[in-house]
Amino acid sequence: MNRLRLKNNKGFTLVELALVLVIVGLLITGVLKGEALIENAKVKKLVNQKQSITAAYYTFFDRYGQLPGDEDIAGAPPTDTDEGDGDGIIDAAERGLVFQDLALAGIINGSFSGAQTDVPNHAFGDFMDVRWIGNFGGAVVNSNCMWFDGVPAEIALQIDTKYDDGVNNTGSIRANTVYTNAAPKQFVWRM
């Protein structure tokens, strides 16, 4: 008996299809894990940026007896020609001077002009600065704070929950709206 032989078998076996699906699943899992790792690294970088600026802020205060940007001491730091008013409040005109003073004092790296728009970007790409916050998110703050603009809502909530109380309008970390609103947050953290 002769068996019929089919020529040009062009299909895949179930084993081959299963193997391809397993490989695709592993690739998708790897990509998702990679995205989570990148997101976690950005969160850590933002927290580290806040902590390093806070350390620089207080180092400047220890060295000169006044706050960076707000200082009104001629020639302090060296080569500084822009002065604040020395009242302990970093107002709108002084917030660009904070990073200029810190850089001129050799406490942070970089070169800053003192303009309000010449400030560093945070880990999520928008700007950050130091400023006096009176009322924010419907609540009284009355403190100099780090201001982070454009922080994703889930990141703001994650940081607030880990380092404060997880509520957008109480504690030392605040956001401009509730965290359930998915819009990027203006996010402040007391110095």
**pLDDT value for 36:** 82
Share of the chain above pLDDT 70, in %: 95
| Range from 2-6, 88-92, 151-155 carrying the lowest mean pLDDT | 2-6
CA distance 48 to 148: 13
Nearest to 148 by CA among 117, 179, 165, 123: 123
| Range from 22-31, 77-86, 125-134, 163-172 carrying the lowest mean pLDDT | 22-31
Nearest to 50 by CA among 167, 161, 172: 172
| 152 or 17, which is more confident | 152
The 10s digit of each residue's pLDDT in 27-86 is 887 777 778 888 999 999 999 999 999 999 999 999 999 999 999 998 889 899 999 999
Q: Work out the average pLDDT over 167-191.
A: 95
| Range from 19-28, 123-132, 139-148 carrying the lowest mean pLDDT | 19-28
